[in-house]
Amino acid sequence: MTPYRPHPIVMLTARQLSEAIHAKQVSSREVMAAYLAHIAAVNPACNAIVAQQDEAALMQAAQAADDALARGESKGWMHGMPQAPKDLAMTRGIRTTYGSPIFRDNVPASDSVIVERMRQAGAILIGKTNTPEFGLGSHTFNPVYGATRNPYDPTRSAGGSSGGAAAALALRMLPVADGSDFGGSLRNPAAYCNVFGFRPSAGRVPYGPAPELFLPQLGCEGPMARNVADLALLLATQSGPDARTPQALPQDPTLAMLTPQNVGNALDADLSGKRVAWLGDWGGYLPMEDGILSLCEQALRFFPDFGVAVEAIQPPYPPEKIWQTWLVHRHFLTGNARLALYNNPSTRAQLKPEAIWEIEGSLDLKASDLYAASTQRSAWYQALLRTFETFDYIAVPTAQVFPFDVAQHWPKTIAGRQMDTYHRWMEVVVAWTLSGCPVISVPVGFNAEGLPMGMQLIGRPRDDLSVLRLAAAYERARDWVNDRLPPAIDG
């Protein structure tokens, strides 16, 4: 049997693809045809891209992009490139189910802010990427589309909730991908699929439009990519203020000027003298599957090669207190957002147990509970600032288990320790969500079974560019993405 070899177009980086389209070395029609054929070849075994759009209409949109370039008109760096937003993001005219049977036939009349911005930058939406129901849980499965399978082992999970996005990236079905992150949903699937996932600083990427604009500070949207330069370019497209989201940050001037031509230089920085604090398993507090800590420590051995010192530290704050404040915030924000569905018997019957657990956990919360949890979160943030007085970055694993059985809803034990909630197994991401700091998950390699893992690099508040520069330096030293392709495309 002849091994499958992907079309060279789909193997280009997003930056290379943008430059090739704008130089008219390839047409948008050629790009669209190559991607659609590739998706038809590899997506059935993975189930990453869902709600696929009509092929003839997509080819017509690609022709329109070519016609615009022929007139000297380009919408932006994503002009004529295929894109599939996560199925939690509203897409005008394209089914948006949130992974829930309740919204199986929901077709929004407008876009989310990040979708709107990708369209404005020239992207052509070819469908959506799969997600768990309402994004709850770090494993991508739902009753609408089924489960997304890991690109490196289809019997395993691709992570979540941006599992479809990460798997599509790894299999070269998308040049870049968007995702969202409350409990590690940009980070965990990046680790499980051997790509990069970036949770931006709180407010860096406007979130919405949404019914409630001021309280949801923990969920955010951000970029995923196969390299840091592409990641930075998509972040630049997504970020910047929007009047509809009152807590959005002003645009970072460096991000604002990024182009495919200058992004490499913008990420190249002298990191001599910088220091990374390795927090590992929080002094033994977090159970870890064998092999995760050692892969991260092997990755950290590259850091002195580009001038960055690494030092192990003790936990800067009691981790169980962080977990307790997380539970209150999670119940409050997630539970109340779905309360109307719970109060309606017909829709309640269609909610998965994890959604019901979150909602019921919110019912008895008092205002004093939320204030106490916010005070505890503030104390953690202040402790973190003290750590950043000595160190420039913090490093921890991205996950506590390697990709697990795709038929399992979530890991019930880790290293013999019972998990008491559906997200306790992802506790390693929680502190950084609560901090609002920028975090990137970078690939660190594979275990003996060939399963990927990642490591989180956390930077100071609002210092997104510094985190990207550290990740870029590491990528130059160790490029796992290109060194180890998923078997389906390693022809």
Q: Active-site residue numbers?
A: 86, 161, 185
Rounded Cα gap, residues 322 and 218, in angstroms: 14
Rounded Cα gap, residues 483 and 208, in angstroms: 37
Region for 72 from its dihedrals, namely left if φ exceeds 0, alpha if ψ lies in -120 to 50, beta otherwise: left
Q: Enter the DSSP assignment of 377.
A: H
Complete DSSP assignment for 75-144: --TTTT-EE--BTTS--TTS---TT-GGGTT---SS--HHHHHHHHTT-EE--EE---GGG-SSS-EETT
Region for 49 from its dihedrals, namely left if φ exceeds 0, alpha if ψ lies in -120 to 50, beta otherwise: beta
User: Are 292 and 456 contacting, i.e. CB atoms less than 8 angstroms apart?
Assistant: no
Which residues neighbour 286 within 8 Å (Cβ) at sequence distance 6 or greater? 319, 400, 427, 428
For residue 422, report the phi and psi dihedrals to the nearest 5 degrees: -70, -10
Q: Enter the DSSP assignment of 484.
A: S
Which residues neighbour 202 within 8 Å (Cβ) at sequence distance 6 or greater? 217, 220, 247, 436
Strands 393-397, 177-181: pairing kind:
unpaired
Strands 124-125, 82-83: pairing kind:
parallel
Q: Would you tell me how many other CB atoms lie within 10 Å of the CB of residue 89?
A: 25
Amino acid at 191: A
User: Are 184 and 190 contacting, i.e. CB atoms less than 8 angstroms apart?
Assistant: no
Which residue, chain included where needed, has tokens 């709180």?
202
Which residues neighbour 79 within 8 Å (Cβ) at sequence distance 6 or greater? 18, 21, 22, 28, 65, 68, 69, 121, 122
Amino acid at 360: E
- SS3 label, residue 367: helix
Give 192's strand partners: none
Q: Would you tell me how many other CB atoms lie within 10 Å of the CB of residue 311?
A: 10
